[in-house]
């Protein structure tokens, strides 16, 4: 009888297996998890130097410069580039301009992605695109480099093409054999007139990416 009651008692004493399976998460770890999901790295591609400031190839720099000015923040010289930070709707946006020149942009992207512990899905890279008419916006979740050396180096160093790229159209209005001169040339007068409105729209794209998400941003802005 005693053995039977002991067996019955032990069989009714069940242990919740989930209690021993759940790892303990400390308060500082919770904060880290939250900050990672709400932090975004926005990379504007371009070349450093006064001679490149107003060139078509530097539209990535120009867009993040415009947004920084709009937010009233300044870029600071940091390792492998210049960085500015602002907060919007609970998100933190890090604006990065690599100083490695276009062909080595991936070094800066990978360094700051790792340093700030930013997940791949929270990265947006802004680049010029010859295949789009001037000012046209196209956001894609992944894709090839399309012949763009900055994207090519980023793909190589991140070992993936699965990051958001924001392509800004610069058109292909150049004569045969003059592509390099065109890409590294200044905007024409008509483009300069229209550029402020396109920069304003581009700044909205960046904020939407961090707050509304990639899919909604593509729906709202692609082709505009």
Residues with catalytic annotation? 57
User: Do 183 and 128 form a contact (C-beta atoms < 8 A)?
Assistant: yes
Cα separation, 138 vs 193, in Å, equals 21
Cα separation, 149 vs 154, in Å, equals 9
What is the phi-psi region of residue 149: left when phi exceeds 0, alpha when psi lies from -120 to 50, beta otherwise?
A: alpha
User: In terms of residues, how long is the chain?
Assistant: 224
User: Do 88 and 34 form a contact (C-beta atoms < 8 A)?
Assistant: no
Strand segments (E) across 19-173: 39-44, 76-78, 81-88, 91-98, 123-129, 137-140, 164-169
CA dihedral 168, 169, 172, 173 (to 10 degrees): -120
Cα separation, 8 vs 10, in Å, equals 5
């Amino acid at each position: 009888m005693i053995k039977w009651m002991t067996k019955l008692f032990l069989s009714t004493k069940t242990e919740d297996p989930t209690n021993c399976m759940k790892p303990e998460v400390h308060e500082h770890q919770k904060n880290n998890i939250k900050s990672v999901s709400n932090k975004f790295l926005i990379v504007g591609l371009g070349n450093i130097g006064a001679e490149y400031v107003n060139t078509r190839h530097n539209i990535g720099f120009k867009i993040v410069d415009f947004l920084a000015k709009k937010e009233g923040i300044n870029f600071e010289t940091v390792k492998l580039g210049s960085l500015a930070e602002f907060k919007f709707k609970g998100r933190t946006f890090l604006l990065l301009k690599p100083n490695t020149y276009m062909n080595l942009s991936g070094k800066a992207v990978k360094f700051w992605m790792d340093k700030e512990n930013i997940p791949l899905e929270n990265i947006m890279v802004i680049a010029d695109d010859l295949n789009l008419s001037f000012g046209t916006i196209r956001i894609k979740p992944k894709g090839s480099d399309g012949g763009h050396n900055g994207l090519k180096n980023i793909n190589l160093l991140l070992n993936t093409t699965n990051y958001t790229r924001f392509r800004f159209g610069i058109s292909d209005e150049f004569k045969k054999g003059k592509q390099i001169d065109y890409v590294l040339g200044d905007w024409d007068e008509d483009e300069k007139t229209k550029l402020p409105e396109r920069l304003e729209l581009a700044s909205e794209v960046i904020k939407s990416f961090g707050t509304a998400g990639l899919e909604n941003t593509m729906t709202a802005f692609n082709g505009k």
